[in-house]
Amino acid sequence: MRNKTTYACQNCGHQTARWMGRCPGCGEWNTLVEERTAVESKKLRGISGTGPVPVTEIIITEEERYATGLVELDRVLGGGLVPGSLVLVGGDPGIGKSTLLLQAASAIAAGTRKVLYVSGEESARQIKMRAERIGALHPNLYLMAETDMSVVERVIKETTFSAVVVDSIQTVYQPEISSAPGSVSQVRECTGMLMKLAKGSGVPIFVVGHVTKEGTLAGPRVLEHIVDTVLYFEGDRHQAYRILRTVKNRFGSTNELGIFEMRGAGLVEVSNPSELFMNQRPENVAGSSIVPSLEGTRPLLVELQALVCASGFGSPRRMTSGVDYNRVALIMAVLERRVGLRLSSYDAYVSAVGGVKLDEPAADLAIALAIASSFKEQPVQEQVVLVGEVGLTGEVRAVAGMEKRLQEAAKLGFKVCIGPKDKQSQSMGIIEYIGVQSLQEAVEAAIER
């Protein structure tokens, strides 16, 4: 054994041989901390000892998945839990990460499978108190309050478990490393050990990760590269609804979305979020539009609201929530240039209702019509949904998944869809479809007709 001293950035994981006031990797000040790492001189062993094999001789078996018991969690995982996968769940403190995974662990245990829940933040009694409150008591669910990774590793190897939950990666530590728990070295080594356990034994492992004040996962960026799936549990703690979003998934789509409602008895799955978001929508109010968004395979109706008012300062103010700021600025420029709306001296505020974040171009037309409606002080026509990408020349471009979008709109009682001129969409006959070629035509059809 020999000790190696390095200085690691606690924000991005960048390592240097000497201390510096500012991290060369991320530019943050006073984040470099001295860490002593014990390095073994013997050769390291990988997960598999096999040599190179021709790709034509590799035998592919059907990917086995099993349900976690939570439909919304299975959706974002790509259809279920894959044996040997390492799943990282991140989110703000108090958002409900531990509650979500405790409910999932109990549901898996109810299917005659042994599940281990390892907590480095709470005692076994505290976890049982939460389990009693949310109804997650099951004899196949094993609790262990432990922070020593060597002990956790021994327990996982000695007992056959179908799933393991580690809460959280910032609290466990490797005894051979002298750094404090939560440091870059500890997080990297503990995650690497869990990855080897998952791949070597075929046991799926959930890992809870803390987030920084910027909303990103704490620890080195290599943490997200090691794991198979990265999930973010988001939402406003002052509201009851929580959104589980996929950021990375080696076994499924990265656009899936799961929605839960936080109640006193735990998290409850929301099977029809579109109806939930539409319940409180105001009628005949300028500045409101509806877009049938497509998050992975799930269609979702989202209300977009805009408020345009005269600016009281020299430079107009722009604010967004749930939509991209730069995209809104681009759409406002197109509205001014191609439609003739003089927005350059007006403040604009655009928001996606319900805490949903929209990043697909299909929401462009709904954003544009909400802004135009607020500026003209004329509401968008009733029972109308808007979908389409807006180009710099003012044209409305086609988007994918129109059939699912129109079916979701028809399910909630909408009668008309205004979108890009497309013969296939117009011939579906699900609801009345008005095809437009330009943003000017869309404004005339949705507001001025």
Task: Report d(CA 258, CA 246) in Å as an integer.
Answer: 9
Contact 163, 206 (CB under 8 A): yes
Q: Is there a binding annotation on residue 97?
A: yes
Q: Does residue 284 come out as left (phi exceeding 0), alpha (psi in the -120 to 50 range) or beta? A: left
Q: Is there a binding annotation on residue 98?
A: yes
Nearest to 303 by CA among 325, 317, 285: 285
Q: Is there a binding annotation on residue 96?
A: yes
Task: Report d(CA 326, CA 215) in Å as an integer.
Answer: 19
Q: Is there a binding annotation on residue 92?
A: yes
Q: What does the DSSP 8-state code read for residue 41?
A: -
Please tell me whether the peptide bond between 345 and the residue prior to it is cis, using omega within 30 degrees of 0.
Answer: no
Q: What are the DSSP E strand ranges found in 213-265?
A: 229-234, 241-249, 257-263
- Tokens, residue 287: 């500045």
**Residue for token digits 């979305």?**
257
Nearest to 323 by CA among 306, 299, 337: 306
Q: Is there a binding annotation on residue 91?
A: yes
Task: Report d(CA 267, CA 3) in Å as an integer.
Answer: 46
Other residues' Cβ atoms within 10 Å of the Cβ of residue 14:
20
Other residues' Cβ atoms within 10 Å of the Cβ of residue 117:
26
Q: Is there a binding annotation on residue 93?
A: yes
Q: Would strands 163-167 and 115-119 be described as parallel, antiparallel, or unpaired?
A: parallel
- Determine whether 88 is exposed, middle or buried from the number of CB atoms within 10 Å of its CB (0-12, 13-18, 19+): buried
Q: Phi and psi dihedrals of 199, rounded to 5?
A: -70, -35
Q: Which helix (H) or strand (E) holds 194?
A: helix 184-201
Q: List residues forming the annotated binding site.
A: 91-98
Q: List residues forming the annotated binding site for ATP.
A: 91-98
